[in-house]
Amino acid sequence: MNFTTRLLIGILIFPWYSYAGDFELTPNFQKAYQEVFKFKVQSAKNILLSESKESPFRAYLENYIDLVEMLNWDEEQYYEKIKHREEDRLDLIEDLDEKSPYNRFLRAEIKMHWALIKLRFGHEFKAAYNIIEASKLLEENQKLFPGFLPNYKSLGCLHIIIGSVPDNFRWALKILGLKGSVNQGLVELDKAAKDPIWGNEALYCSYYIQAFVIKLDEKEQVALLKFIDAQPDNLNVHFIGLAVSLRSNNAEQAQRILKRLPTGNEYLACPIIDLYKADVALMQGHYQQSTGFYANYLRNSKVKTFLKDTYFKLFLTNYLLNGEKQALTYLLKIPSAGNTVSEADKAAEKFYENYSKSHTLPNKLLLQAKLSLDGGYFPRALTFIETISEDDLITQKEKTEYYFLAGKAFQKNGQTDKATAYYQRAISLNDKQHWYFGAGSALQLGYIFQEKAQKNQAKAWFEKAISYKNHEYKNTIDSKARAALSEMGFRIE
């Protein structure tokens, strides 16, 4: 996805309107692009019908529409039916004027779109090949047209991804010679945000990546809310606000955004809205309400992603409502549901596997503490934690999770000394087990020492976090740790 304001810099200035000929970005194309970005897909399709089928911008925008629809539908048969469009569109654009910076840029964008689609269907190596080809096109375009701002949007995203790639994929970067860092990518996205067409998308990417890879600080959270408020009819931008709010442990903010969500037949149907509503209600302790939203998602969603996670959440809501028998029916659906492309689905699968071996159900107070932390209800989480003693917990896994969650509860309530002790105990109990609590504790200890400006200690803890293998949140924790190391100026091998 992609956009906003171009600056005149130096003598190499390439304003968008100067590239006519094959690459004429007409007002119609600009309008269609804005409509796709808002998820007003049918409106964009109608606009494009009046444009030439030979136009590179029509090919690009129809590809953008395919991306948005495929990420919402997740139908493999449809993917097989339309996957030839990638090469068709690339061939059309490649044959056009090579002296335009749009030639390589649009081809790189299409390759990145299809990388996301291929990832959705589990084709990781094919997606990686697309990323490599896109990177080459963008680097070449950068050398030829250094003042072309849209290029920085895509390069910025790639450099952040490369700079935060998890440990188990870094060997591939070395072989392929791909280089980049989080700081480099953020600078590039900031530059791209000045473009009048693609700048909006650059901001979108920047907020998304910072929330999921680094950490949005309070100032950036405020800027994000202003970004959303400025676009009341943009469903896509509201989605990023929801995702960032929940990722940042702020269920109250997510609920406010849900109430302002633009609706209507002009928008693409997005069942994931029910998932957001359900997650917010679950974190707030409204278990009956969240059960209804999760059931709606199962009825309306056409995607295989998040199905395991949804059945796991239905297990939680029923279990916390004291309906253990009904809860177990949902738990037993996990292994046959959906896929494990997302980390949430991997975590649900792992929970089921642990249950199938031990037949032990989790401590309800511990579950409520975790959900309270996820939603940003930190005092409530601490109350749950302080109600539990280690003697109440049966398995070593549960005890390890208790110390991890207690560390987080104390950290979020400003008691970092206590948090440090609890995190260290979690690391000790985690030992060589394939649980994420040790890695998560090390990551949080890294943040604690980073905030204290004790860089070497922070570095040691971030590296410790990366050293853990085979846990369900490996990619996320590695990415965050690597991003923090890069942010502090440490070279990442």
- pLDDT tens digits for 279-329? 999 999 999 999 999 999 999 988 888 999 999 999 999 999 988 999 999
Phi/psi for 3 (5° steps) reads 170, 180
State residue 489's pLDDT score: 85
State residue 10's pLDDT score: 24
Phi/psi for 361 (5° steps) reads -90, 150
State residue 389's pLDDT score: 87
Q: What is the maximal distance between C-alpha atoms in the chain? A: 75
Conformation bin of residue 180: beta by default, left when phi > 0, alpha when psi is -120 to 50 = left
Give buried/exposed letters for 170-184 (b at 16+ CB in 10 A, else e).
Answer: beebeeeebebbbbb
Q: How far is CA 422 from CA 402, 452, 487, in A?
A: 9, 18, 26
Count of alpha carbons within 13 angstroms of residue 340, beta-carbon side = 12
Phi/psi for 111 (5° steps) reads -65, -40
Average pLDDT over residues 115-121: 88
Nearest to 93 by CA among 117, 63, 68, 128: 63
**pLDDT surpassing 70 at residue 175:** no
DSSP 415: -
State residue 168's pLDDT score: 60
Interval 330-374: pLDDT, tens? 999 999 998 888 889 999 999 999 999 989 899 999 999 999 999
| Percentage of the residues of the chain whose pLDDT score is greater than 70 | 92
- Terminus-to-terminus CA distance in the chain, angstroms? 29
**pLDDT surpassing 80 at residue 453:** yes
Amino acid identity of 260?
R
State residue 209's pLDDT score: 82
Nearest to 178 by CA among 133, 125, 127: 133
State residue 172's pLDDT score: 65
- Cβ distance 373 to 407 under 8 Å? no
Instruction: Quote the tokens at residue 484.
Output: 């923090």
State residue 8's pLDDT score: 22
**pLDDT surpassing 70 at residue 14:** no
Give the Cα separation of 107 and 92 in Å (integer): 10
DSSP 268: P
Give the Cα separation of 370 and 412 in Å (integer): 12
State residue 470's pLDDT score: 85
Interval 187-218: pLDDT, tens? 999 999 999 999 999 999 988 887 777 777 78
Give the Cα separation of 367 and 318 in Å (integer): 13
State residue 302's pLDDT score: 82
* The model's pTM: 0.87
State residue 411's pLDDT score: 98
Give the Cα separation of 276 and 242 in Å (integer): 7
**pLDDT surpassing 70 at residue 153:** yes
Average pLDDT over residues 475-486: 88
- Cβ distance 413 to 384 under 8 Å? no
**pLDDT surpassing 80 at residue 491:** no
Give the Cα separation of 286 and 317 in Å (integer): 9
Average pLDDT over residues 177-187: 82
Average pLDDT over residues 383-387: 96
**pLDDT surpassing 90 at residue 417:** yes
State residue 15's pLDDT score: 34
Give the Cα separation of 418 and 406 in Å (integer): 9
199 strand-pairing partners: 3
State residue 136's pLDDT score: 94
Tally the residues of the chain.
Answer: 493
State residue 11's pLDDT score: 20
State residue 170's pLDDT score: 65
State residue 493's pLDDT score: 60
Give the Cα separation of 176 and 155 in Å (integer): 16
Interval 267-279: pLDDT, tens? 999 999 999 999 9
Average pLDDT over residues 118-129: 86
Interval 228-248: pLDDT, tens? 999 999 999 999 999 999 988
**pLDDT surpassing 90 at residue 459:** yes
**pLDDT surpassing 60 at residue 16:** no
Band (pLDDT 50/70/90 cuts) for residue 174 is: low
State residue 216's pLDDT score: 74
Give the Cα separation of 267 and 236 in Å (integer): 10
Interval 24-48: pLDDT, tens? 888 999 999 999 999 999 999 999 9
Average pLDDT over residues 119-145: 91
